[in-house]
């Protein structure tokens, strides 16, 4: 019985958010806002319990596989909980509950309209994210991937203004085109290989897809992933999508959607093509160089942005390319590092976004140049911001260090000095674009009358961002604290490269 | 050469003629400007197909398919099936013509004309005046 | 009783259609009630029949006990059993929906429209069931004639559209008659199965090619396949609003089924010129998919958008025929089923919006989702299905089409499928944008109620279409299995 329940848990995790989304959409306008947010929070708590409860089994190496029914002829709608998916699912579900609390503070503090649709779409996105974490084959993955694409759209256009509409169109143009090409690639992969199940180490062999076609199909598949992950030159929807309310930017454009892109890259490179094939068709190399380019260029662009959210958006673009780079180095270390960077970046970047949102709601400031001395008014927020910034730069004892160290280790073991240099340079660059914010905020000898009074953000916003900041420090000191996420990441890396060793 | 044409005309000539009739009908539907004439051409076209079927059923030493004492073998009768089919086709054609005529009456009632170019002009006018056309009640 | 099901399905709507006017004269609602009842009965019977076919195999029903090939035969294999369920359901929903659009002051006109709709359903169901090529012609004409009448009931533009459709439609029917005449002249039979056997003996290539030249344009016109679609946009746009879901959703599909019967069941894939025919069909489909979507982008009248989108969607179906493997054919038929509910559903929405606000211009659709959440839910689901976003029905039919194309190494078709979905996305997201994002417009509500956004007879079709779009998507394998029972034997 207990075994049965374990099998059903991934399905439960998906259904909880789906039900919440449906309930909110149908009931939202008819019940009090508190009850509506109650649904969100209850679902978030249930989901977090469900997801966490699977960790021991995964750590023990047990296979949790659930085949529901045939979704297309010959392929079933199946879930398979593996370490890599588990890492991402843990991050997404943990952050959902924190972001939900934050959202309540933000949306009410800001007096937003259309909150029902907002919460419904939010829950839907989480449903899709969890689904794609646990998807056992390409078609299940693709279904959730596309649901995520569509469910994010209402959040991007939340304000219903001209700018939002434009960003929404841009977002759809990027994601739908790449999604449809992904679809065509899945069809081709299925017709040449006859299977779609993710296998650690890949299932495509050189005789299925001869050389020029392997590269073409590789990029057709990877396109969807790197669009969502914002790898240059396909990144421009991401800064545009920052018109959405800050909690959306925080969870979706720093965690769920963009990480789904990175995760898609991981699945395609390591679970569909596999390290050998990815290397043989030069796909991994090309992608790694694209990531290097993105890391450097996005840092320089970020320096020139004075809107805090825009600066963070470009920082996201750069940080996500770390993950892509880590995947494309194709070593167990760098893969574990890349997976762990999903965790690390999520906690750090969400802290930064939440801080930006808290500043905006409390003082209505978006421009960095107007934030002189804001540390005096909002010390806690800015402390958290500082901690996260240092983490992004990759200082020891912060979570960013763990992941970057592993990626660098991988790069060293493969003998790629350029990648090592890029990673180190970008850490410095991250300092140059994030530290000025901190320095401006805590500038001495400035008496900005606006910020003279002490008045931090509302508790509903403050508490989540403090929690995430603290977690990002704890995980930096003890990467395995609590959920054993680092072990999971290492396990995933070993699984993939085991057959090769 | 002449014999070839002769045999062709003797065996397939009648089909050739029905095809000419059909082509005339289709051409008429395309070329005529007046909707009434189009309807007439439509009938011509249908008649062509009826001829075609009747020719199929015809054979020279056969008689009408009514049981007679003089003819006892099936081969002595012509094939009755095409006639039966064409009876249906004629009924259908009658129905179509009836619908067509009543539609014409309505067009005439609503637009005051059944000339195609006049109608197109009026429709354009209506579109420009009321973007929704005459459909909004 | 139970063995007469195939014919009862067709006869019940026919009887109610004939009785409808007389009953309307007695009492205003009696006629409509009779039609509703008969359509519901048809639907239930076709469900039973589907069950019978799945368990017991193909049903051959000889009408009046005149055995085939001399008598008329209804052949119900798994393919048209599924389609019959779908079409009769749509017929029933349309009848439910249509009663809201009658002119209250002229009850006889309402009765007449209802009778015509029932006749249309009869024709559609008959065409789907029949196994006799001439009987197909008769039902084709029943369908067409009732469609002319229904289109002409849609106002003065409707009359002209109906007249034009009638001219073109009659040309198509005549070409069809000529085509079967040619086939009859060499085989001497009108029964589809019998004809197949005789044609299989070989030696009829010339006649078959001639007949194909007549039949492809004939079906092309009737199903509004590019480039024969000229009549379609204005006819769909101006048809009588109550019956529009049926006309747009189902009417074009039945000739497609007939085309499939001719190409795959009568001619068979051994026919020497079948490749040429399929390539031609493929070219038509490809251009139709692109042309339909491009034209739809330029329209602001929602009915026109949907009409042009139908040209594109028929392209998907004929693309499946052009690819020709069982899996692609299954995709085409799945798309046929899905499209019935997508396009029908979108026209239910259009009708509902028009019923409530009296507008069809998408520029006036500002944020109506607040007032009509259910309708807009269906609108979104159907639009997503048209684009092919999982897990809606449209995605899965596209999947099978693409898989079939990949199996035949027709890469160009996959590229076109991708492009076509993106083009669909352009105008359907424009529609979604209008419904959800644009500034709310000042629309005068014509129908108010505290509890429901619309009358129950509109809500039921809307909800059923919504369920069907997702149901057909998630449980497509069951349907594809049933379809493949027939298709395995006929594809390439």
B137: pLDDT strictly greater than 50 = no
Q: For the CA atoms of chain C, what is the radius of gyration?
A: 21
Euclidean distance between CA atoms C413 and C398, whole angstroms: 11
Q: Per-residue pLDDT tens for C457-483?
A: 888 899 999 999 999 888 888 888 898
Q: Do A73 and C400 make contact, defined as CB atoms within 8 angstroms? A: yes
Q: Per the omega criterion (within 30 degrees of 0), is the bond before C69 cis? A: yes
Chain B contact set for C190 (CB, 8 A): 81, 85
Element of type H or E holding A22 = helix A2-27
Q: What is the mean pLDDT of residues C7-30?
A: 88
B134: pLDDT strictly greater than 50 = no
Q: Tally helices (H) and strands (E) across chain A.
A: 21, 2
- Which of helix, strand or coil describes residue C131? coil
The pLDDT score that the predictor gives to residue C339 is 92
Query: Chain C: nearest CA to B110, how far in angstroms?
Result: 6
- Which of helix, strand or coil describes residue A309? helix
A427: pLDDT strictly greater than 60 = yes
Q: Do C171 and B123 make contact, defined as CB atoms within 8 angstroms? A: no
Q: Do B56 and C181 make contact, defined as CB atoms within 8 angstroms? A: yes
Q: Do B100 and C174 make contact, defined as CB atoms within 8 angstroms? A: no
The pLDDT score that the predictor gives to residue C283 is 92
- Spatial contact of C143 and C251, defined as CB atoms under 8 Å apart: yes
Q: What is the mean pLDDT of residues C376-386?
A: 89
B44 touches chain C (CB under 8 A): no
B56 touches chain C (CB under 8 A): yes
Among C287, C492, C312, C310, CA closest to C405: C492
**Pairs of CB atoms within 8 A across B/C:** 97
pLDDT band at B79 (very low <50, low <70, confident <90, very high): confident
Q: Per-residue pLDDT tens for A381-412?
A: 888 888 888 888 878 788 888 888 888 888 88
The pLDDT score that the predictor gives to residue A450 is 66
Determine C/A contact with 3+ CB pairs under 8 A as the test.
yes
**Pairs of CB atoms within 8 A across A/C:** 83
Q: What is the mean pLDDT of residues A14-37?
A: 82
Q: Do B111 and C173 make contact, defined as CB atoms within 8 angstroms? A: no
User: How far from A501 is each of A60, A375, C463, CA to CA, in Å?
Assistant: 22, 52, 56
- Mutation target among B25, B78, B99, B111 for the C interface, most CBs of C within 10 A: B99
Contacts of residue C14, defined as CB under 8 A and 6 or more positions apart, other chains included, come to C118, C119, C122
The pLDDT score that the predictor gives to residue B133 is 44
Q: Per-residue pLDDT tens for C76-118?
A: 988 889 999 999 999 999 998 888 887 677 778 888 888 899 9
Tell me which chains share at least 3 CB pairs under 8 Å with chain A.
C
pLDDT band at C440 (very low <50, low <70, confident <90, very high): low
Contacts of residue A336, defined as CB under 8 A and 6 or more positions apart, other chains included, come to A406, A486, A489, A490, A492, A493
- Spatial contact of A334 and A407, defined as CB atoms under 8 Å apart: yes
Among C32, C48, C203, C17, CA closest to C102: C32
Average pLDDT taken over every residue of chain A: 83
Q: Per-residue pLDDT tens for C213-271?
A: 899 999 999 988 888 888 888 888 888 888 888 998 898 899 999 999 888 888 888 88
- Count up the domains in chain B and report the number: 1
DSSP string for C409-469: T-HHHHHHHHHHHHHHHHHHHHHHHHHHTSPPP----S---SS-SS-HHHHHHHHHHHHHH
C448: pLDDT strictly greater than 70 = no
CA A40 to chain CA mean position, Å:
20
The pLDDT score that the predictor gives to residue A156 is 83
A210 touches chain C (CB under 8 A): no
C183-222 residues touching B, CB cutoff 8 A: 184-185, 190
The pLDDT score that the predictor gives to residue A44 is 87
The pLDDT score that the predictor gives to residue C447 is 66
The pLDDT score that the predictor gives to residue B57 is 79
- Nearest residue, CB atoms, C389 vs list A73, A150, A154: A150
A250: pLDDT strictly greater than 90 = no
- Nearest residue, CB atoms, C163 vs list B26, B103, B135: B103
pLDDT band at A93 (very low <50, low <70, confident <90, very high): confident
The pLDDT score that the predictor gives to residue C286 is 92
Query: Chain B: nearest CA to C380, how far in angstroms?
Result: 24
Euclidean distance between CA atoms A493 and C384, whole angstroms: 37
Q: Do C160 and B107 make contact, defined as CB atoms within 8 angstroms? A: yes
Chain B contact set for C185 (CB, 8 A): 56
Lowest mean pLDDT among C97-111, C284-298, C391-405: C97-111
- Mutation target among C113, C139, C158, C160 for the B interface, most CBs of B within 10 A: C160
Q: Do C166 and B45 make contact, defined as CB atoms within 8 angstroms? A: no
Euclidean distance between CA atoms B106 and B123, whole angstroms: 15
| High-pLDDT (> 90) share of chain B, % | 28
Lowest mean pLDDT among A101-110, A129-138, C162-171: A101-110
C296 touches chain B (CB under 8 A): no
B104 touches chain C (CB under 8 A): yes
Query: Chain C: nearest CA to B134, how far in angstroms?
Result: 6
Q: Do B100 and C141 make contact, defined as CB atoms within 8 angstroms? A: no
Which letter does DSSP use for residue C27 in this model? -
Query: Chain A: nearest CA to C418, how far in angstroms?
Result: 6
Q: Per-residue pLDDT tens for A436-447?
A: 888 887 777 666
Q: Do B52 and C167 make contact, defined as CB atoms within 8 angstroms? A: no
- Nearest residue, CB atoms, B99 vs list C148, C155, C174: C148
Q: What is the mean pLDDT of residues A361-369?
A: 79
Chain C contact set for A154 (CB, 8 A): 436
- Spatial contact of C128 and C260, defined as CB atoms under 8 Å apart: no
Handedness of CA B35, B40, B41, B46 (dihedral sign): positive
Nearest CA in chain B to C133: B85
Chain B contact set for C176 (CB, 8 A): none
Nearest CA in chain C to B40: C167
C45: pLDDT strictly greater than 90 = yes
| High-pLDDT (> 70) share of chain C, % | 97
- Nearest residue, CB atoms, A187 vs list C330, C391, C406: C406
Of residues B126 and A171, more confidence is placed in A171
Q: What is the mean pLDDT of residues B91-114?
A: 90
A224 touches chain C (CB under 8 A): no
Determine B/C contact with 3+ CB pairs under 8 A as the test.
yes
The pLDDT score that the predictor gives to residue A497 is 79
- Mutation target among B78, B135, B136, B137 for the C interface, most CBs of C within 10 A: B135
pLDDT band at A500 (very low <50, low <70, confident <90, very high): low
Query: Chain C: nearest CA to B6, how far in angstroms?
Result: 22
B136: pLDDT strictly greater than 50 = no
Which residues constitute the domain of residue B107? 2-135
Q: Tally helices (H) and strands (E) across chain C.
A: 19, 2
Q: What is the mean pLDDT of residues A356-370?
A: 81
Determine A/B contact with 3+ CB pairs under 8 A as the test.
no
B135: pLDDT strictly greater than 50 = no
- Spatial contact of A43 and A99, defined as CB atoms under 8 Å apart: no
C43: pLDDT strictly greater than 90 = yes
Element of type H or E holding C85 = helix C78-98
The pLDDT score that the predictor gives to residue C489 is 80
Q: Do A146 and C390 make contact, defined as CB atoms within 8 angstroms? A: yes
A375: pLDDT strictly greater than 80 = no
- The residue extents of the domains of chain A are 2-500
Euclidean distance between CA atoms C160 and C229, whole angstroms: 16
Q: What is the mean pLDDT of residues C187-192?
A: 88
Q: What is the mean pLDDT of residues C431-443?
A: 76
Query: Chain B: nearest CA to C159, how far in angstroms?
Result: 6
Q: Per-residue pLDDT tens for C333-347?
A: 999 999 999 999 999
Average pLDDT taken over every residue of chain C: 87
Nearest CA in chain A to C334: A72
The pLDDT score that the predictor gives to residue A452 is 65
């Amino acid at each position: 019985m207990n075994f049965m329940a374990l099998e059903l848990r991934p399905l439960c995790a998906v259904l909880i958010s789906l039900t919440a989304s449906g309930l909110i959409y149908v009931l939202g306008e008819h019940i009090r806002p508190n009850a509506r947010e109650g649904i969100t929070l209850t679902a978030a708590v249930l989901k977090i319990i469900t997801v966490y409860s699977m960790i021991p089994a995964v750590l023990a190496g047990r296979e949790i596989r659930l085949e529901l029914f045939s979704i297309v002829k010959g392929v079933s709608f199946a879930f398979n909980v593996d370490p890599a998916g588990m890492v991402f699912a843990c991050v997404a579900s943990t952050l959902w509950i924190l972001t939900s609390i934050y959202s309540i503070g933000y949306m009410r503090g800001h007096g937003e309209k259309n909150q029902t649709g907002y919460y419904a779409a939010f829950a839907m996105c989480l449903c899709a994210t969890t689904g794609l974490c646990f998807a056992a084959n390409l078609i299940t993955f693709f279904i959730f991937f596309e649901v995520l694409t569509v469910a994010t759209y209402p959040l991007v256009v939340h304000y219903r203004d001209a700018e939002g509409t434009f960003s929404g169109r841009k977002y759809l143009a990027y994601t739908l085109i790449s999604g449809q090409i992904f679809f065509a690639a899945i069809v081709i992969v299925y017709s040449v290989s006859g299977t779609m199940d993710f296998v650690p180490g890949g299932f495509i062999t050189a005789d299925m897809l001869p050389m020029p076609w392997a590269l073409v199909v590789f990029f057709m598949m990877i396109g969807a992933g790197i669009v969502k992950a914002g790898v240059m030159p396909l990144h421009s929807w991401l800064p545009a999508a920052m018109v959405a309310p800050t909690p959306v930017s925080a969870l979706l454009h720093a965690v769920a959607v963009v990480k789904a892109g990175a995760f898609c890259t991981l699945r395609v490179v390591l679970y569909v093509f596999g390290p050998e094939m990815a290397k043989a068709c030069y796909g991994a190399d090309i992608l790694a160089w694209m990531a290097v380019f993105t890391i450097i260029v996005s840092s320089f662009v970020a320096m020139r942005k004075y809107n805090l959210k825009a600066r963070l958006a470009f920082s996201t673009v750069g940080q996500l390319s770390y993950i892509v780079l880590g995947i494309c180095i194709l070593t167990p270390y760098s893969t574990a590092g890349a997976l762990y960077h999903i965790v690390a970046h999520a906690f750090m970047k969400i802290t930064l976004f939440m801080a930006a949102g808290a500043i905006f709601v409390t003082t209505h400031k978006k421009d960095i140049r107007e934030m002189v001395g804001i540390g005096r008014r909002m010390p806690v927020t800015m402390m958290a911001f500082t901690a996260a910034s240092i983490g992004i730069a990759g200082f020891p004892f912060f979570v960013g260090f763990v992941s970057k160290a592993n990626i660098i280790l991988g790069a060293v073991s493969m003998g790629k000095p350029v990648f090592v240099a890029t990673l180190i340079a970008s850490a410095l660059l991250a300092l140059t674009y994030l530290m000025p914010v901190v320095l401006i905020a805590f500038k001495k000898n400035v008496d900005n009358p606006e910020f003279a009074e002490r008045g931090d953000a509302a508790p509903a916003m403050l508490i989540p961002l403090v929690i995430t900041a603290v977690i990002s420090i704890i995980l930096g000191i003890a990467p395995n604290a609590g959920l054993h996420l680092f072990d999971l990441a290492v396990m995933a890396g070993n699984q993939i490269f085991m057959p090769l060793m | 050469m002449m014999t070839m044409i002769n045999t062709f005309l003797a065996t397939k000539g009648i089909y050739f003629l029905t095809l000419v009739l059909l082509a005339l009908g289709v051409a008429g539907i395309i070329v005529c400007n007046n909707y009434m004439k189009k309807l007439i051409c439509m009938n011509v076209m249908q008649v062509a197909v009826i001829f075609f079927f009747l020719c199929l059923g015809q054979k020279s030493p056969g008689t009408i398919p009514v049981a007679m004492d003089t003819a006892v073998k099936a081969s002595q009768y012509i094939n009755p099936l095409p006639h039966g089919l064409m009876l249906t086709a004629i009924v259908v054609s009658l129905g179509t013509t009836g619908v067509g005529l009543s539609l014409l009456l309505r067009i005439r009632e609503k637009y005051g004309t059944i000339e195609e170019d006049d109608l197109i002009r009026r429709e354009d006018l209506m579109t420009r005046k009321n973007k929704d056309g005459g459909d909004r009640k | 009783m139970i063995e007469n099901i195939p014919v009862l399905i067709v006869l019940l709507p026919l009887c109610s259609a004939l009785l409808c006017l007389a009953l309307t004269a007695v009492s205003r609602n009696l006629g409509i009630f009779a039609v509703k009842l008969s359509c519901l009965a048809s639907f239930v019977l076709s469900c039973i029949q589907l069950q019978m076919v799945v368990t017991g195999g193909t049903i051959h029903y000889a009408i009046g006990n005149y055995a085939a090939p001399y008598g008329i035969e209804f052949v119900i294999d798994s393919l048209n059993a599924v389609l019959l369920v779908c079409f009769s359901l749509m017929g029933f929903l349309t009848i439910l929906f249509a009663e809201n659009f009658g002119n209250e002051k002229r009850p006889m006109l309402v009765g007449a429209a209802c009778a015509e709709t029932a006749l249309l359903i009869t024709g559609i169901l008959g065409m789907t069931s029949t196994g006799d090529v001439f009987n197909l012609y008769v039902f084709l004409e029943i369908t067409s004639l009732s469609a002319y009448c229904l289109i002409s009931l849609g106002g003065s533009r409707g009359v002209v559209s109906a007249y034009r459709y009638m001219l073109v439609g009659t040309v198509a029917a005549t070409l069809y008659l000529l085509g079967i005449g040619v086939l009859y002249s060499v085989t001497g039979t009108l029964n589809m199965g019998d004809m197949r056997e005789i044609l299989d003996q070989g030696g009829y290539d010339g006649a078959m090619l001639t007949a194909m030249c007549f039949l492809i344009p004939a079906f092309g016109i009737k199903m509004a396949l590019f480039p024969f679609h000229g009549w379609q946009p204005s006819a769909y746009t101006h048809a009588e609003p109550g019956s529009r879901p049926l006309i747009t959703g189902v009417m074009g599909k039945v000739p497609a089924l007939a085309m499939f019967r001719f190409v795959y069941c009568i001619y068979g894939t051994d026919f020497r010129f079948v490749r040429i025919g399929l390539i031609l069909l493929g070219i038509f489909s490809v251009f139709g998919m692109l042309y339909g979507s491009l034209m739809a982008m330029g329209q602001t009248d929602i009915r026109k958008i949907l009409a042009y989108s139908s040209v594109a969607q028929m392209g998907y179906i004929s693309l499946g025929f052009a690819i020709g493997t069982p899996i692609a054919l299954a995709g085409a038929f799945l798309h046929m089923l899905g499209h019935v509910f997508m396009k029908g559903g979108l026209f239910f929405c259009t009708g509902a919006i028009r019923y409530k606000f009296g507008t069809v211009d998408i520029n006036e659709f500002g944020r109506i989702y607040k007032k009509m959440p259910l309708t807009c839910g269906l609108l979104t689901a159907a639009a997503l299905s048209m684009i092919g976003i999982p897990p809606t029905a449209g995605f899965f039919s596209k999947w099978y089409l693409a898989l079939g194309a990949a199996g035949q190494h027709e890469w160009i078709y996959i590229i076109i499928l991708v492009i076509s979905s993106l083009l669909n996305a352009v105008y359907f997201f424009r529609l979604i944008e209008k419904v959800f994002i644009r500034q709310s417009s000042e629309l005068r509500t014509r129908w108010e109620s505290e509890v429901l956004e619309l009358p129950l007879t509109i809500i039921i079709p809307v909800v059923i279409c919504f369920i069907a779009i997702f149901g057909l998507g998630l449980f497509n394998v069951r349907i594809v299995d049933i379809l493949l029972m027939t298709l395995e034997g006929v594809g390439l």
